[in-house]
Structure formats: structure tokens, C-alpha cells
Amino acid sequence: MLYLHIPFCKQACSYCNFHFSTSMKTRKAVLNGICRELELRRAELPQGRVPSVYFGGGTPSLLTATELGRIFDVLYAQQYIAPPEQTAPNLAQPETGLPEITLEANPDDLDEATIQTLTASPVNRLSIGIQSFFEEDLRFMNRAHNATEARAAVEKVTRAGFADVSIDLIYGGQTTTDEMWAENLRIATDLGVTHISAYALTVEPKTALGVNVAKGKVPDTDDAKFNRHFNMLVDHLTTHGYQHYEVSNFCLPKHESRHNSGYWSGQAYLGIGPGAHGFDGVRTRKWNVANNANYAKALAEITSPEDYAAANSFLYETETLTDADRYNEYIMTGLRRDVGVSVSELKRLFGEEKARYFMKSQQGNISAGLFHDVSEGIYRLSRAGIMRADGVGGDGFWV
Ligand code: SF4
């Protein structure tokens, strides 16, 4: 799997702590670096085509047709993906055997020209950063789009033929009333999107929102509202045919994000671009410097895979996971998914001792009703358990 981080945004959303810059000064140099990095690191993934490519950010929908085309040319040349056949519909669903190629897009970028660029490219899944269909929420979050653009974006890409459209929504924010959240959910399902990712508005310290909350200019978020909105979310989407396949992710049947499911099941992926993270599928994580100028400068000076290997520390850092880290991650990602944690898999991957430790650690949570029936050795969280997934997972951690 391949993740490409496009670290540019038109403006800073008040709650965002991803790596991005609103300055376009390094844009050309960063894109050169991304193309270079794709060449230098090809051998880190097995030969053969990748099952999925994900353009995340930042705002990948800011890429021009020329910039996007240049990246795809490198993906073909390095055989990450096959060039599309002239006759193949690029918007076909992943079931056709094509790799899943997702691009994150913001509603204000989805004008007719950009949609045309995307339909003519191999991108076959869009993830649109809607967040809310209400002006008041969007202004509070300092989003670049308005409520009209939010709805129109989904309608336009659906009309253009994209069969896989995901939207992001944010709940529990200071401006979002229960009625507004119910309406956001109603609009989302009326639009017929195939996938919805919904996140609670988190107040991160180094963001504009975090600073305003710390100064008392804005009230903090409210856990009771988070719980109410989460319950409304699950009730509404599951009664409208969506499968709740991960704590924050819902899809119509057969429209799971293959890329994200790959992360959660421990697949190897390459993280390309400033601030991008990767994993070798075994025990090594690697992440690039989260600074556009330093990233571009480092890549401009590297001419061979040997130079790349020596660039460690100013271009990227690595971390080797211990057995305990791997076990803990397995528990957490398993519990967050509808597949749950299988005791026989735990035994196979981590041994008898850790499997027994996990079962013992969850006895209290079973009695508290946080799991469905575990008699067959599969630990799946109940609704009450999902609402406390991090705590339940933490109870099972090996320390
Ligand atoms: S568009 Fe996305 S990445 Fe950019 S500031 Fe907003 S939330 Fe962050």
C-alpha cells in the first residue's frame, strides 16, 4: 500500500494538527521530492502492484492536472500501479480488480475543471472533507468551504460517475446542536454516499481552537454531547444500511476503505511526502521530517538509494516495535473494528501467555456488558464498549 502526503492547504482549520503549510513557496520542490522519494524507495515494498494508493494531506485536491499527472507517471514507471487501459473506466469500483486509489478533496476545490481532472485520472475513490453541512459549524472550524459547496460537492462528483464517495463529518463541536447533527446525518444518507468517517471534535493544544479554549475564549467540548452524538450517529447510519466496521467508520456493503482496513490489519505501507508515516508490516515504523523545506532540500541532494539510506535522521526517523508494542497495537486495532480480537489469532501471533493475559484482563469488561458474547473466542465490543474502546483496549495492554 502506498500513502502520499500532499502537505498544502488554502487555510488552517482551527482544530487541525496534521502536517500542512498554507505557504506554497516550497510546492514545486516538495512535489519534486515526492517523485524522487517514490523512485528511491520502490524496493521497500514487494515487487508487484500495490493494492491501494491514498493521496492524503493537507489537501491533495489542490494538485493541478499537471502535478497529479506527473505523480501518476512515476507510479506507472516504478510499477506501483499499471497504467490504465484506454478503454477501462477509471471510475470503476475496486471489485473490478483495479487498485483502490483514493484522493482526499475539499468541497471548495471540486469545481468542474478539477472534477474533470479527477475523472480522467486513475483516482476511483474520493474522500471529501465535508465536516458539516451548516455554515455556523464551518465558520467555527475555519473551513475554506461553505454549506452550499459542501452539498454541491457530493452531488457533482456523484453525477460525474464516482461510485465510491466517502465523506468526513465532525460531531460534538461547540456550535453543533443535537438538531444540527441529526440534520447532518440525514443529509449524508440522503446524498447516498458509500462511506462515512465521523470523528469527535478533538481540542489539540497547539491549534487555534486549543489556544482559544485554554484562554477561555471558547468553551471546552462536552463529553455528554460526544456520547449523545455518537449514539445518534450509530443509530442513524445502521438503520440506513451502513455497516459500522470501525469505531469511526461506516460503509454501505462492500464499500469499506481497503486502504484503511490495511492499516488496521497490520499491512505494510510506504509513507511518501513530508510528515508521512510508513510501516514495513513486521515491526519497523518510519516517518519523514514534518517540514516542507527540509524535506525538499534533503531529497534534492539524494541521488541514489545508498544516499537515501544514509539520510536517516535529517530526512526520516525509524522506530522498532517490541513484541509488547505489536501485541498492544493488535489489541487496540482489533477492538476498534467489527471483526474484534480472536483469541486463537492472539495465540498464533503472540503465544499462549499473552492470549491468557488478554482474556483475564477483559473479565471485568465482559461483566460490565462491554462485549458481545465471547463464548466462541472472538472479543467484539458492544455499543457501550465501543464508546470506551480506548479504555477497554488499555486494560488489555501488556506493560
Ligand atoms: S484542510 Fe485538512 S489538513 Fe488542511 S488544515 Fe483543514 S483539516 Fe487540516
pLDDT for the residue 94 = 55
Residue range 83-133, pLDDT digits in tens: 987 545 566 555 667 899 999 999 999 999 999 999 999 999 999 999 999
* Structural domains present in the chain: 2-264 (3.80.30.20), 323-395 (1.10.10.920)
What amino acid is encoded at 7 in this protein?
A: P
Q: What is the pLDDT of residue 303?
A: 87
Closest C-alpha residue for ligand 1 atom 8: 16
Query: How much is the pTM?
Result: 0.96
d(CA 363, CA 69): 54
* pLDDT value of residue 90: 62
The residue length of the chain stands at 399
On whether the CB atoms of residues 173 and 201 are closer than 8 A, the answer is: yes
Q: What ligand 1 atom has the least distance to the C-alpha of 17?
A: 8
Residue-wise pLDDT for 300-358, tens only, equals 999 888 889 888 778 999 999 999 999 999 999 999 999 999 999 999 999 999 999 99
Kindly state the percentage of the chain with pLDDT values over 90.
92
Rounded Cα distance, 124 and 89, in Å: 9
Q: How far is Cα 272 from Cα 177, in angstroms, rounded to an integer?
A: 39
Listed residue (28, 71, 16) closest to 293, CA to CA: 28
Q: CB under 8 Å to 47, separation ≥6 — which residues?
A: 79
User: Coil, helix or strand for 214?
Assistant: helix
14 lines ligand 1 (CB under 6 A): no
Mean pLDDT for the chain overall: 95
DSSP 277-298: EEE-SSSEEEEE-S-HHHHHHH
What local confidence, expressed as pLDDT, does residue 92 receive? 58
Which of 14, 59, 199 is the best mutation target for the ligand 1 pocket, counting ligand atoms within 8 Å of the beta carbon and taking the most? 59
What's the gap in Å between 344 CA and the centre of ligand 1? 41
Query: Residue ranges of the chain with pLDDT lower than 70?
Result: 86-96
| The 3-state secondary structure of 241-265, one letter per residue | CCEEEECCEEECCCCCCHHHHHHHC
Instruction: Give pLDDT, residue 306.
Output: 87
Smallest CA separation from ligand 1 atom 7, residue = 16
**To test ligand 1's pocket by mutation, which of 4, 8, 9, 61 has the most ligand atoms within 8 angstroms of CB?**
9
- Residue 272, all three cell numbers: 511518501
Q: Which of 6, 11, 13, 197 to mutate to test the pocket of ligand 1 (most atoms within 8 A of CB)?
A: 13
The answer to whether the beta carbons of residues 99 and 262 sit under 8 Å apart is no
